[in-house]
A = this chain, B = another copy of it.
Amino acid sequence: MRISQSEENYLKAIYKLSEKTDKPISTNQIAKEMMMAAASVTDMVKKLSEKKLIHYTKYKGAILTDTGEAKATDLIRKHRLWEVFLLEKLSFAWDEVHDLAEELEHINSDQLTNRLDAFLGYPKFDPHGDPIPDAQGNMQRRDQSILATLNNGDKGHLVGVQEHSKSFLQYLGQISLTLGAHIEIIEKYEYDQSLKIIINKDKESIISNKVSQNLFIKL
C-alpha cells in the first residue's frame, strides 16, 4: 500500500506523541505538533484510518495500529541512520543533521536502509543518543536518568538529550557538553534548581533547571 510523504509525517507525529501516553492522540495534539490546522488533521486521520494505519474514533483521537506503528518505527530507523551517516561520514554537527534526515527518511527502499545500516556498522544510537530500531523494528532501551533528578556528588555520562532544537544543541556545544561527556554534580542550588557541574572532569559550568531537565545521564 502506497503511503505518501505527508501521511508518513502524520504517522511519525502520532508515534512521537504516543510515547508519552497510552491514551488516544487528539487531532489538536497532532495539529500542534505538526504546526497545522486541526481541520487538516481531521481529514488526514480519516484517511489513515481507512488505510488501517490508525484506529480513530471521532472526537476521541487516534492510536497507531500494529501496521502503523511498524511503519513509524521504520521511518525512525531511517531518520536516525541518516543522522549517523551525516555526522560520522559527512562531518555535520549534531545540531545540523535533523532537518536533512527529515527529508532523507522518506526514501523508501529496504535495501538502501539495510545497506546504509551495514555501512555504518549497525549503530545502536543516533547522534542525539536516541536508539535506532533494527530491521525488525526492535530497539535497545537506553539506561538513563534525567540530570535534574540527581544530587550532589552524582556523576555519569551524557547519553541523550530530550530536546532536539538547534538552539539547545548549539548551547550544549558551547559549554562542551557533547554526547558521551562526563558530568559530575558539584552543587544543586535549592533556590532555582540550577546545577553547578564539572564537565569531563575539567570545565565547571552552571546550568539551569530547564537545561538539566533535558539531559539524560547514565550513572
Contact = CB atoms under 8 A, between A and B. Distances in A.
Interface residues of A, number: 15
Nearest to A112: B100
A2 interface: no
Contacts of A100: 107, 109, 112
Interface in A109-158: 109, 111-112, 115-116, 119
Contacts of A92: 111, 115
Interface string A74-101: 0000000000001001111000000010
A91 B107 CA distance: 18
B90 A115 contact: yes
A104 interface: yes
B116 A90 contact: yes
A103 interface: yes
Contacts of A112: 86, 90, 100
A79 to B, nearest CB: 13
Contacts of A109: 100
Contacts of A90: 112, 115-116, 119
15 contacts: A86-B112, A89-B119, A90-B112, A90-B115, A90-B116, A90-B119, A91-B115, A92-B111, A92-B115, A100-B107, A100-B109, A100-B112, A103-B107, A104-B104, A104-B107
Q: Which 3 A-B pairs have the closest CB atoms?
A: A90-B115, A103-B107, A90-B119
